Amino acid sequence: MSGRQRVWRHSAAFRLALAFAGMAMLIMVITLSVFYIRTVVLLEQRTLRQIASTTQQLQARFDQGGRAALVQAIDESLGDGEDSDRELLVLLDAEGRRIAGSSRFADPPASGSDIEEQTLLRSGHPAPGYLTTRKLPDGSRLVVGHDRSEQIQMAELVGDAIKAATFLALLLVVGGTYLFRDLLEQRIGALRRTAAQVAAGRLAERVQPSERDDEFALLEHDINRMLDRIEGLMQGVRHVSDTIAHNLRTPLTRALARLHEAQREGSDPAALRAASAATIAELEQLNAVFHKLLQIAEAEAGAQRQQFTPQSLHAIAADVVELYAAVAEDQGCTLQLVGDAPAQAAGDRDLLASAIANLVDNALKYSAHTPGARVEVAVRARHDTVELAVRDNGPGVAAVALARLGQRFFRLDERLPGTGLGLASVRAIAQLHGASLVFEDAAPGLCARLKLPAG
């Protein structure tokens, strides 16, 4: 078996096309067979009805006018020019001698018998036909028959037409099978080639969109969306890896330098304690970074989605505002909660509280040195969504930096404390909850809007 034959043998597209072709052929053969049988049966039934009807009419003529009337009826029927060459009418006496009509058969059936098949003579040549014999009260016998040659020819003609149609349909089905298989292979081949390119590391490859609005076009669209997501995640992983290496190397280097310095001979206890305290602070900061990264990874993986229950977003925001009230007071900042109490959304309470806390903490941090600093947390129900907005009147964010808010390790001001992961964790929690997170220029300050599906 050649390689091409093996490919076709194991091709799902070819098997599918062949299965549909086989079904089509089977349906067509059954339909044409039924048509052929019905045609033959109808022609035969028409002939038999004609023989029976003619026999009854001639019997009635005999009953009304005797033999003379019957002979006249036979002569009229054979001389009317309608089916005269195919119709057989004979009146025989008791000894079998012909009285009227023409004898074109070998031996008539027995009297009173059903209609039987018998060979007739037509233009001196044998021809298939039907005969029946009716014995009359005066002892004579009436023989009625009909030539079946044209009926058989018609059946053969229909049969030949059906055979030709079947052969033509078979050619069309076979051609359609190969065409269908090739069309499927072209569409699927494009998907496989793109998958091979992506598997080879070329993540920017995409399936060429089709102009057809069919199931394959939808599949191509879904695959391209998936590849966009994969490419974005891989770029995020590379970025995070590079950023982690950069952000962790500096504190680790500082911690090691302090410890090495403290180990030198002659270091006094105060220097050791200072080095230990500074190292602990660096390690706590690193621990916070790892905690945030773990929280983001769990949120992006959807690990806690199954724990979602209806939550009062207003109640969670109230708890967060109460928690940060003392911090805001120390900074001389007004922290206020406004909005609708019944606003509910399905989610995880701890994650939602963490997201709100990060937004409030970020607002307090960047508005701390603003005279008359004010942070407002608003919760409002809007049709089928619940919106939480955290607005401050701080220095705000430049338009070019708004798009980068929420990226891992992105920080507006490196001088302020933080890991650069707070807003990234908020974005991951928003994605987990099917919510949208938007940052807007509040003029002055910044407004972060978190919109969740109501529930």
Mean pLDDT of the chain: 78
DSSP reduced 3-state for 341: coil
Top pLDDT among 170 and 103 is at 170
CB-based contact 374:367 (threshold 8 Å): yes
Per-residue pLDDT at 166? 82
Task: Say if residue 301's pLDDT is above 80.
Answer: no
Q: Is the pLDDT of residue 303 over 70?
A: no
The residues, any chain, with a CB within 8 Å of residue 142's CB and separated by 6 or more, are 55, 58, 59, 62, 70, 89, 90, 91, 92, 133, 134, 135, 136
Q: For residue 438, what are its two tokens?
A: 């938007």
348-381 b/e (C-beta count within 10 Å ≥ 16 → b): bbebbbbbbbbbbbbbbbbbbebeebbbbbbbeb
347 bridge partner residues? 309
Q: Enumerate long-range contacts of 244-248, CB under 8 Å, 24 or more apart.
A: 244/289, 244/293, 244/409, 247/289, 247/409, 247/420, 248/286, 248/289
The percentage of residues in the chain with a pLDDT greater than 90, rounded to a whole number, is 2
User: What pLDDT sits at residue 1?
Assistant: 47
DSSP state at residue 433: T
Between 143 and 84, name the one with better pLDDT: 143
pLDDT of residue 179: 81
pLDDT confidence tier of residue 3, bands split at 50, 70 and 90: very low
Return the residue matching tokens 């029976």: 52
CB crowding 165-182: b at 16 or more within 10 Å, else e: eeeebeeebeeebeebbe
Neighbours of 221 (CB within 10 A): 13
pLDDT at 48: 84
Are 372 and 315 spatial neighbours (Cβ–Cβ below 8 Å)? no
Assign 133 to helix, strand or coil: strand
Report the alpha-carbon distance of residue 151 to residue 159 in Å, rounded.
12
Query: 444: cis peptide before it, omega within 30°?
Result: yes
Per-residue burial over 285-300, b if 16 or more Cβ lie within 10 Å, else e, is bbeebeebbebbebbb
Contact 368, 330 (CB under 8 A): no
Question: How far lies 72's CA from each of 31, 67, 75, in Å?
Answer: 47, 9, 5
pLDDT at 377: 92
**Nearest to 455, CA basis, from 348, 375, 367, 351:** 348
Mean pLDDT along residues 184-211: 82
Where is average pLDDT lowest: 95-104, 133-142, 319-328, 445-454? 95-104
pTM above 0.75, yes or no: no
d(CA 363, CA 384): 27
The string of DSSP letters for 2-59 reads -HHHHHHHT-HHHHHHHHHHHHHHHHHHHHHHHHHHHHHHHHHHHHHHHHHHHHHHHH
User: Does residue 5 have a pLDDT over 60?
Assistant: no
Average pLDDT over residues 199-204: 83
Q: Are 419 and 286 in contact (CB under 8 A)?
A: no
Task: Examine the pLDDT at 317 and tell me if it is beyond 70.
Answer: yes
Q: Is the pLDDT of residue 79 over 60?
A: yes
Number of C-beta neighbours around residue 403 at 10 A = 10
Q: Token pair of 177, please?
A: 């099978």
pLDDT class for 300, splitting at 50, 70, 90? low
Give yes or no for a contact between 135 and 109, defined as CB atoms under 8 angstroms apart.
Answer: no
| Residue 428 CA neighbour count, 13 Å, CB half | 25
d(CA 156, CA 36): 10
The predicted-structure confidence for 385-438, as pLDDT tens digits, reads as follows 889 999 998 888 877 777 777 676 666 666 666 666 777 878 888 888 888 888
Half-sphere exposure in the Cβ direction for 382 (13 Å, CA): 13
**105 compared with 336, residue with greater pLDDT:** 336
What's the CA gap between 206 and 389, in Å, rounded?
38
pLDDT in the model for residue 441: 85
Q: Mean pLDDT across the stretch 341-367?
A: 84
Residues composing the chain: 455
Structure tokens at 63: 């009953």
Q: Which domains does the chain have, with CATH numbers?
A: 1-205 (no CATH), 217-301 (1.10.287), 307-453 (3.30.565.10)
DSSP secondary structure string for all residues of 201-268:
T-TT--PPPPSS-SHHHHHHHHHHHHHHHHHHHHHHHHHHHHHHHHHHHHHHHHHHHHHHHHHSTT--
> Over the stretch 239-259, which tens digit does the pLDDT of each residue have?
666 656 656 666 777 777 777
Res. 60: pLDDT tops 60 = yes
Are 375 and 334 a contacting pair, CB within 8 Å? yes
Pair 144, 88: CB distance under 8 Å: yes
Residue (of 381, 330, 322) closest to 357 by Cα position: 322
pLDDT at 318 over 80: yes
For the cut 80, the answer to whether the pLDDT of residue 358 exceeds it is: yes
> Do the beta carbons of residue 105 and residue 82 sit within 8 Å?
no
